[in-house]
Structure 1
Amino acid sequence: MFKHLISFKTSLFLICVSIACAIAFNTIGSTIDSEGILHEPFGLIPIGWLFFLLGILVGIVCVIRWLWRKR
C-alpha cells in the first residue's frame, strides 16, 4: 500500500516540477541584447516536458499496478 502511495506522490511531484519549469520559463522571459542575440531559458522547455512525460508514465504504471493487484 505504501509503495503505491510513494509512486503516486512521485508522479505528482514530477508533474509539479514540470509546471514549475513552465512557470519559470514564462517568468524569466526572453530578451534581445544590443547585438540582436536572443537570450532565453530554452533548457527549461525540454526539461519540463521530460518531467511531465515521466510523471505521466509513473502515474500510468502506478494505476496499472493498482488495478492488477486489485484483481
Structure 2
Amino acid sequence: MKKLIPNRTSMTLCIIGLLCLLTYALIGSHIYDDGTLIEPFGLLPLFWVFEILAITAYVVQLIKGFNERY
C-alpha cells in the first residue's frame, strides 16, 4: 500500500492537469466586437504546473524504488 500512494499522487496531479486542459478547450475563446480576446488563459499555466508536478512525483517514486532495491 505504501508504494501506491505516490503513484496515486502523480496520477491525481496528471488528471487535474488534464481537466484544466479539457476545461480550457470546452470554454473556448472568442473575440468581442471591439477586438478584445476573451479566453481562460489561466488554465494553460495550471495545466503545465500540474503535469510537471506529476512527472516530478513519478520520478521521485522511481528513484526511491531503485534505492530500496539496491
Where on the TM-score scale, by shorter chain, does this alignment land: which range? over 0.9
Q: Which amino acid aligns with 1:28?
A: I
Deviations 1:19-67 (A, max 9, x none): 1111111110001112110000000000000000000000000011011
2:55 matched residue in structure 1: 56
Q: RMSD of aligned C-alpha atoms? A: 0.9
2:41 matched residue in structure 1: 42
Paired residues, number: 70
What's the TM-score, normalizing by structure 1?
A: 0.92
1:29 matched residue in structure 2: 28
Q: Which amino acid aligns with 2:68?
A: R
Instruction: Provide the identity percentage.
Output: 36
Which ranges in structure 1 are unaligned for 5 or more consecutive residues? none
What's the TM-score, normalizing by structure 2?
A: 0.93
Distance 1:50 1:14 in 2: 9
**Stretches of 4+ aligned residues off by more than 6 angstroms:** none
